[in-house]
């Protein structure tokens, strides 16, 4: 029985620096209290769907699940006065 041993070493390769550039879209949208009160929306969830990137789906008779740019409530951290909702 014979065994063959060889020493294999990884060769270090230095890659050139890669620069990635992208343009960021400015996102600014708002909903005034007056628009919610005077609008035809049944609730705040329905009023929020007027904003770009916001959608909802019904969870029950009057319950809505808000989706913000594809993120649901478990993926969004909402704070009011440093208290998580």
3-state secondary structure 8-21: CCCCCCCCCCCCCC
Q: Where are the alpha helices (DSSP H) in the chain?
A: 33-38, 44-48
Cβ pair 58, 64 in contact under 8 A? yes
What does the block give as tokens for 58?
Answer: 């019904």
User: What pLDDT score was predicted for residue 19?
Assistant: 85
Q: What is the mean pLDDT of the chain?
A: 77
Does the pLDDT of residue 76 top 80, yes or no?
Answer: no
Percentage of residues of the chain with pLDDT beyond 70: 82
Q: Count how many residues are written for the chain.
A: 85
Does the pLDDT of residue 53 top 80, yes or no?
Answer: yes
Does the pLDDT of residue 5 top 80, yes or no?
Answer: no
- Under the banding of pLDDT at 50, 70 and 90, the label for residue 61 is confident
């Amino acid at each position: 029985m014979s065994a063959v041993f060889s020493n294999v070493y990884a060769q270090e390769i230095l890659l050139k620096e890669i620069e990635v550039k992208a343009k960021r879209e400015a996102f600014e949208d708002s909903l005034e209290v007056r628009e919610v009160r005077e609008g035809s929306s049944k609730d705040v969830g329905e009023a929020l769907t007027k904003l770009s990137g916001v959608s909802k789906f019904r969870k029950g008779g009057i319950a809505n699940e808000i989706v913000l740019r594809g993120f649901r409530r478990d993926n969004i951290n909402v704070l009011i006065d440093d208290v998580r909702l």
